[in-house]
Amino acid sequence: MSENSLVKDRTSVNIPLEENRQGEVLENVAIKQEVHNGKTFYIESYGCQMNFSDSEIVASVLGEQGYRLNKDYKSADMIFMNTCSIRENAEDRVRNRLKDFHHIKKANPSAIIGVLGCMAERLKDKLLEQEQLVDIVCGPDAYRSLPTLIAEAEGGQKAVNVLLSREETYADISPVRLDVNGVSAFISIMRGCDNMCSFCVVPFTRGRERSRNALTIVKEAQDLFNRGYREVTLLGQNVDSYRWKNEQEENISFAQLLAMVAEVDPLLRVRFSTSHPKDMLDDVLHTMARYENICNYIHLPVQSGNSRILEKMNRTYDREWYMNRIEAINRIIPDCGISTDVITGFCSETEEEHQDTLSIMELVKYDLAYMFFYSERPGTLAARKYEDDIPLATKKKRLQAIIALQMKHSLEKNKQDIGKIVKVLVEKTSKRSEEDMCGRNDQNKMVIFPKGDSKPGNYVNVKITECSAATLKGVIV
* Alpha helix segments (H runs only) across 296-350: 307-312, 319-332
29 or 200, CB closer to ligand SAH? 200
Of residues 363-382, those binding ligand SAH (CB under 6 A): 372, 374-375, 377
> Beta strand pairing status for 190-191 and 210-211?
antiparallel
> Per this entry, what is the length of the chain?
477
Binding site for ligand F3S (CB under 6 A): 3, 47-48, 50-51, 84-86, 117-118, 201-202, 205-206
Binding mask 183-222 for ligand SF4 (x = CB under 6 A): ----------x-x-x--x-xx-------------------
Nearer to ligand SF4, 199 or 229 (CB): 199
Counting Cβ atoms within 10 Å, is residue 165 exposed (0-12), middle (13-18) or buried (19+)?
A: middle
Mind giving me the DSSP string for 381-393? HHHHHS---S-HH
Return the residue of 139, 175, 301, 456 that touches ligand SAH, per CB under 6 A: 301
**Residue 199 near ligand SAH by CB under 6 A:** yes
Rank residues 48 and 364 by Cβ distance to ligand SF4 and give the closer one: 48
d(CA 176, CA 62): 10
Residues in CB range of 23: below 8 A, 6 or more apart = none
Range 121-160, binding ligand SAH (CB under 6 A): none
> Residue 5 or 237: which CB sits closer to ligand SF4?
237
Between 126 and 432, whose beta carbon lies closer to ligand F3S? 126
Comparing CB distances to ligand SF4, the nearer of 342 and 448 is: 342
Number of residues that bind ligand SAH (CB under 6 A): 20
Residues 6+ apart with CB under 8 A from 143: 54, 57, 58, 61, 116, 170
DSSP-derived 3-state class of residue 320:
helix
Give whichever of 165 and 375 is closer to ligand SAH, judged by the CB atom. Answer: 375
The three-state secondary structure class of 137 is: strand
Q: How far is the CB of 463 from ligand F3S (least distance, A)?
A: 37
Cα 217 → chain centroid: 17
Region binding ligand SAH by CB under 6 A among candidate stretches 170-178, 194-202, 285-293, 347-355 = 194-202
372 binds, among ligand F3S, ligand SF4, ligand SAH, none (CB under 5 to 8 A by kind): ligand SAH
> Please, are residues 329 and 289 in contact by the beta-carbon 8 Å criterion?
no
Q: In what order do the strands lie in the sheet with 184-188?
A: 184-188, 231-235, 269-273
DSSP-derived secondary structure letter, 146 = H
237 contributes a contact to ligand SAH by CB under 6 A: yes
Shortest Å distance, C-beta 11 to ligand F3S: 13
Total residues in contact with ligand SF4, by rule CB under 6 A: 9
Q: Whole-angstrom Cα distance, residue 90 to residue 446?
A: 25
Chain residues 2-21 in contact with ligand SAH, contact rule CB under 6 A: 2-3
**243-269 burial, b for 16+ CB within 10 Å, e for fewer?**
bbeeeeeeebbbbbbbbbbbebeeebb
* Positions in the binding site for ligand SF4 (CB under 6 A): 193, 195, 197, 200, 202-203, 237-238, 276
Q: Which residues bind ligand SAH (CB under 6 A)?
A: 1-3, 86-87, 199-200, 202, 237-238, 274, 276, 301, 303, 341, 343, 372, 374-375, 377
